[in-house]
Amino acid sequence: AQKVTQAQTEISVVEKEDVTLDCVYETRDTTYYLFWYKQPPSGELVFLIRRNSFDEQNEISGRYSWNFQKSTSSFNFTITASQVVDSAVYFCALSEAGWYNTDKLIFGTGTRLQVFP
Amino acid sequence: DVKVTQSSRYLVKRTGEKVFLECVQDMDHENMFWYRQDPGLGLRLIYFSYDVKMKEKGDIPEGYSVSREKKERFSLILESASTNQTSMYLCASSPEAFGYDEQFFGPGTRLTVL
């Protein structure tokens, strides 16, 4: 069965520290997609990144980077030089490709990141 | 920009009331979704719809129903609200695709049932 585990419930850091949010997933499919979403205090989830199961290249976008490792079923998210504006709840999610699934996302329980000045 | 709007940010209802949560998207998306978000449980899918008048149960459909009469609007209905339905409700939409597309979320409705 599909499952996404975010073992870190809450992380607190001081501004400019680097922080890594862990995500471990389970799936039977060989074709799947992994996502990260950010939920700031306003409540609206914001899409950050999508990765398909055939692309294990790491991705960097500004201060954000993602490390996808199929061997460990992990898709970890690192924020470099964190800022107060990074404070939010971050969700990792999994979608299995196929006509029968129609974009259903399986979410992890989220990691609340607090960045203090 | 895709916009998903929800009819209320905060709602307070009494046990036994019928509650309607409305969601509208403006990008002609095929798929629409209703989730509830609870502390420690993440987002759980209640219902989704991949076409007008079509609906599929998600992981926790009990106590809820949905309606999609028009492509842009997806309503979540609590036939008889109960206190255990106090939660944050999030609506989302996505273009027609199979597992690939990101979902676009509304701001959420925080429902309190007294």
The model's pLDDT over A25-44, given as tens digits with 9 standing for 90+, comes to 999 888 889 999 999 988 88
Q: Is residue A12 less than 8 Å (CB to CB) from chain B?
A: no
Tell me which residue in B35, B103, B108 faces A103 most closely, judged by beta carbons. Answer: B103
Q: Which two tokens stand for residue A69?
A: 């490792």
Cα A75 to Cα A13, A15, A58, A98, distances in angstroms: 21, 24, 10, 21
Contact A102 B58 (CB under 8 A): no
Q: Which two tokens stand for residue B13?
A: 């209802």
HEC sequence for A13-36: EECCCCEEECCEEECCCCCEEEEE
Of B33, B37, B28, nearest in space to B95 by CA: B28
Q: What is the pLDDT of residues B57-95, one digit of tens each?
A: 998 999 999 999 999 999 999 999 999 999 999 999 988
Q: What is the pLDDT of residues A70-100, one digit of tens each?
A: 999 999 999 999 999 999 999 999 987 655 5
Q: Measure the CA–CA gap between B111 and A50, rounded to whole angstroms.
A: 30
Q: Is residue A32 less than 8 Å (CB to CB) from chain B?
A: yes
